[in-house]
Amino acid sequence: MSVRQPLADSRVYLAERSTPRERGEPGLPRLLSGIPASGALPLGEHLALHGPLPASHGRGWTRARRGDGALIEEVERAGLLGRGGGAFPTAAKLRAVAGAARSTLGGRPIVVVNAAEGEPVSAKDRTLLRSLPHLPLDGALLAARAVGAREVLVGVCESRPEVREALASALAERRAHGADALAGTIDVQLHPVPHRYVAGQESALVNHLSGGPALPTFTPPRPFERGVRGRPTLVCNVETLAHCALIARHGAEWFCELGTDEQPGSALVTLAGAVVHPGVYEIEHGSSLGALLDAADGPTAEVRAVLLGGYSGAWVDGSWLPQLALSDRQLQPYGASLGAGVVLVLSTRACPVAELARLTRWLASQSARQCGPCVFGLDAIATVFEQLVLPLALDRRGAERRLRTLAATVDRRGACGHPDGVARLVASAVEVFADELAQHARRGPCAACSRPSELPGLAR
Amino acid sequence: MSPVHRLRVNPIACEAHGMCHELLPERISLDEWGYPILDGAPLDPALLAHARRAAAACPTFALLVEQRRRD
Amino acid sequence: MTLLPLPIAAAGPSVDWYLTRSTGAVALLLLSVAVALGVADVRRLATPGWPRFVIDALHRNVSLLALVFLALHVVTAVLDSFASISLTAAFVPFVGSYRPFWLGLGAVACDLMLAVILTSLLRRRVGQRVWRATHWLVYACWPIALLHTLGTGSDVKAAWLLLLSLGCLALVLGAVLVRVFADLTRNRVRGRGLALGGAGAFALFLALWLPSGPLGSEWARRSGTPPALLGHRAAKRSKIVVSR
């Protein structure tokens, strides 16, 4: 399976600096097209930029008159993968919900837009919602029609009032405009979701929207079978739905003009850490990590390592940068994946062991505390790192072996993916930071341990 | 096609009572905090009765014996 | 000796009278053992020779055995002609004529025990939450059963029953102490406080009540024995005839 070379003129676009592109033009930006410098893109301009929401005559809907199945088929041909971190084929999800709705007596399905964005470093979802709310809303309504839902619930993080306001205004705009013939039959509601790492997890979100706590549940049954209030539920990430809205307008072939064979299209990434211009960028799948850093005007210091995917992602060594390309298949030999699209750059100025101590302690605090291996295992992992940076720790030897063992012990032992993410983080850290770990095991804390952290979002 | 049985544990319900390990040590081991480690492989028919007994003994019904038709 | 506990001449107590007291005592003992096993927690009591599933099974089986003896206790009490306790009075509290309050406590304890055991047998059906909530009723059932024993039992001044009752008290209180002071690394201050407070209050109550109550004078009359039977009691003590 060959990797298609990126188009010569495809570039990486910084969210704040992109320029509008005519509908269906090749190259980037796509999602970020027309993003305003401040505030939200009004509905009129959104429609002028992308065209009307396809009813049944949109370009690219070759079998539109069959109704509901058309979007699913188009998304399937486009090969869209979920952008919330799981990279699950979106068409399969849509089919599963539509199928569950038909076969069970579970009632009319519900669409849930996962805008919780519990990953502290990730800003792509809230950027879309705050500045380009109509694109994911288009996608949500199209998905609702595709699975036969009449309700869309948007789970928004409660500590982001600006996002909720932007969405509320956008919804009011749509109602006033009368833009959606189908919007009238589909009820869109905003629901605040607690600001917790696990609150964005699929079953936790469904649990919360059903009136329970924002904590993961034991699956089966999965949300697509029995979700909110017992009905088949489609849970989709904000960015995924935005892609659906463009695929519905411009078609699968257009979508596949960018990207690789396994991972077509573009994606949003949040670039953070030791770079000159951190922020949300739109990239083409398969473009090089070096190009992304160049677009951000480079790192602020020499790069020690990059964390890919988020705080539950994997570390890659800075020396591998020239070979790294931003697609899951190309990252897989390095043990990493794009995940929720976070690219966090750690410079050589920081002490990786101290940063990992802070990070793993934070991750342990974010446990839902429902499953023993997560509660005890994550605490044990954080303690090992903390012992390596404390001046008077009793036993530091065997830290690396202990970390490997703990990572293997907690992996896939919880009800949700939280311990799996920590296992991945720690396993990759033990490889990438082997030298620093050995030094700390021998000699304890280093001079860089007390430097302020380069990792954002760990305050809570 | 004979059905395939697998052991699963509900990690939320599990409270590390450890009786499952006592009753089915062939397939269930405990981690350092007392929580069960399962390998996910299909159960031998010979162990099925013991697995069911272990699932019935669990005070929180966290251990499950799941059956799937082998397709 | 006849197998069926037939009512006999009013001159002396029947077999049922002995059986009801003995089965009641055994039921109390078994209940106390079951409660102690449950309170102390299977995880703590296990040893390599006594694995957890064995102790857990012991807890379940002792409870069921206690239920069997409770059934015998109720049946023989009803069949016994001396105190004319109806079957209804065994399950509906405080409707009997013989020491209504203290017997009623027995009915309450019986109902609670049935609730606990039935929900345990049907645990898969009723679900974990209902089962757990109902199981807490044991902490009401056992003290009530003990009070019933001390208040209703006519042998309360006899050494054997007194020692047995105090032994059961010590067993359960001991189990509570073991549980309260176990694993002090986990916080749970409120639970421990409540447990100690409740246990202490109950023990204190017994210490104050027993001397002036069942161990005091004229308890039979004060506890509600029908006047017609009061005279018999004096006669019984002096002349005991058992059918053979």
DSSP string over A166-202? HHHHHHHHHHHHT--TTGGGSEEEEEEE-S-GGGGSH
Query: Does residue A161 share a domain with residue A50?
Result: yes
* Rounded Cα distance, A437 and C189, in Å: 39
Residue C2 lies in a domain: no
**pLDDT score recorded for residue B63:** 95
Residue A342 has pLDDT above 80, yes or no: yes
Residue A10 has pLDDT above 50, yes or no: no
A312 vs C89, residue with greater confidence: A312
Q: How far is CA A124 from CA A24, A120, A267, in A?
A: 22, 11, 10
Query: Which of B13, B16, B19 is the closest to C53 by Cβ?
Result: B19
Choosing from A212, A232, A256, the residue where a domain stops is A256
Q: What is the mean pLDDT of residues A16-26?
A: 50
B63 neighbourhood in chain A, CB within 8 Å: none
Q: What is the pLDDT of residues A79-136, one digit of tens each?
A: 999 999 888 999 999 999 988 877 766 678 999 999 999 899 999 999 999 999 999 9
**Confidence grade of residue B16 (pLDDT, cut at 50, 70, 90):** very high
Helix or strand run (H / E) with residue C23: helix C15-40
Backbone angles phi, psi at A288, to 5 degrees: -85, 150
Q: Name residue, tokens 């749509």.
A: A174
Q: What is the mean pLDDT of residues A323-333?
A: 92
Residue A59 has pLDDT above 50, yes or no: no
Of A183-187, A330-334, C79-83, least confident by mean pLDDT is: A183-187
**pLDDT score recorded for residue C145:** 94
Predicted complex ipTM: 0.93
A361 conformational bin, left if phi > 0, alpha if psi -120 to 50, beta if neither: alpha
Choosing from A285, A317, A347, the residue where a domain stops is A347
Q: Is B19 exposed, middle or buried (0-12, 13-18, 19+ CB in 10 A)?
A: buried
Interface check for C94 against chain B (CB to CB < 8 A): the answer is no
Chain C segment 121-150 residues within 8 A of B by beta carbon are 123-124, 128
B34 neighbourhood in chain A, CB within 8 Å: 372
Please give the angle made by the CA atoms of A73, A143 and A167, to the nearest 5 degrees. Answer: 150
Interface check for B5 against chain C (CB to CB < 8 A): the answer is no
Residue C226 lies in a domain: no
- Token output for B9: 């544990």
Collect all residues with Cβ–Cβ distance below 8 Å to C141 and sequence separation of at least 6.
C31, C109, C112, C113, C116
B19 neighbourhood in chain C, CB within 8 Å: 42, 51-53, 56
A372–B12 CB contact, under 8 Å: no
- Give the strands of the sheet with A151-157, arranged side by side: A187-193, A151-157, A110-115, A233-237
Query: Which of B10, B31, B35 is the closest to A218 by Cβ?
Result: B10
Residue A261 lies in a domain: no
Residue A34 has pLDDT above 80, yes or no: yes
**pLDDT score recorded for residue C244:** 47
Q: What is the mean pLDDT of residues B11-39?
A: 94
Q: Is A59 exposed, middle or buried (0-12, 13-18, 19+ CB in 10 A)?
A: middle
* Rounded Cα distance, C80 and C213, in Å: 25
A110 to chain B, closest Cα gap in Å: 26
Strands A110-115 and A233-237: parallel
Choose among A287, A381, A380: nearest CA to A341.
Answer: A287
**Confidence grade of residue A443 (pLDDT, cut at 50, 70, 90):** confident
* Cα atoms found within 13 Å of the Cα of residue A97, Cβ hemisphere only: 31
**pLDDT score recorded for residue A410:** 97
**Residue range of the domain that includes B32:** 3-69
DSSP string over C106-119? HHHHHHHHHHHHHH
Give chain A's domain count. Answer: 3
A182 conformational bin, left if phi > 0, alpha if psi -120 to 50, beta if neither: alpha
Mean pLDDT per block of 10 residues along chain C (244 residues) reads 49 74 93 92 76 89 96 89 78 82 90 94 88 93 92 78 92 89 76 87 88 78 75 51 49
Strands A279-284 and A13-14: antiparallel
- Token output for A117: 């964005």
Residue A11 lies in a domain: no
Choosing from A206, A228, A256, the residue where a domain stops is A256
Residue A154 lies in a domain: yes
**pLDDT score recorded for residue A182:** 45
User: In a 3-state reduction of DSSP, which class is residue A86?
Assistant: coil
A342 DSSP β-pair partners: A270
Beta strands per DSSP E along chain C: none
The Cα diameter of chain A in Å comes to: 72
Query: Does residue A282 share a domain with residue A317?
Result: yes
Backbone angles phi, psi at A94, to 5 degrees: -60, -45
CATH of the domain at B55: 3.30.70.20
Q: What is the mean pLDDT of residues A452-458?
A: 88
Query: Does residue A411 share a domain with residue A357?
Result: yes
**pLDDT score recorded for residue A179:** 55
B61 neighbourhood in chain A, CB within 8 Å: none
Give chain C's domain count. Answer: 1
Of A7-16, A162-171, A248-257, C128-137, least confident by mean pLDDT is: A7-16
The chain A residues in contact with chain B (CB within 8 A) are: 216-218, 370-374, 376-377, 409, 413-415
Residue A291 has pLDDT above 80, yes or no: yes
Mean pLDDT of chain B: 91
Interface check for C155 against chain B (CB to CB < 8 A): the answer is no
Give chain B's domain count. Answer: 1
**Residue range of the domain that includes C23:** 15-217
Closest residue in C to B53 (Cα–Cα)? C53
Residue C138 lies in a domain: yes
Q: How far is CA C136 from CA A57, B40, C102, C112, C203, in A?
A: 64, 36, 22, 10, 19
Q: What is the mean pLDDT of residues A8-25?
A: 45
**Residue range of the domain that includes A286:** 266-347
Proportion of chain C in helix, strand, coil states, percent, rounded to 5: 70, 0, 30
C83 vs B15, residue with greater confidence: B15
Interface check for B22 against chain C (CB to CB < 8 A): the answer is yes
B13–C128 CB contact, under 8 Å: yes
Query: Does residue A213 share a domain with residue A140?
Result: yes
Contact A415/A198 with Cβ under 8 angstroms? Answer: no
Choose, out of B10, B22, B24, B58, the residue to mutate when testing the contact with C (most C CBs < 10 Å). B22
A400 to chain B, closest Cα gap in Å: 18
Write the DSSP symbol of residue A285. T
Q: What is the mean pLDDT of residues B37-41?
A: 91
Interface check for B19 against chain C (CB to CB < 8 A): the answer is yes
Contact C23/C72 with Cβ under 8 angstroms? Answer: yes
Q: What is the mean pLDDT of residues A156-169?
A: 93
* Rounded Cα distance, A458 and A425, in Å: 16
B16 neighbourhood in chain A, CB within 8 Å: 372
Of A299-308, A405-414, C71-80, C109-118, least confident by mean pLDDT is: C71-80
**pLDDT score recorded for residue A104:** 63
* Rounded Cα distance, C20 and C233, in Å: 16
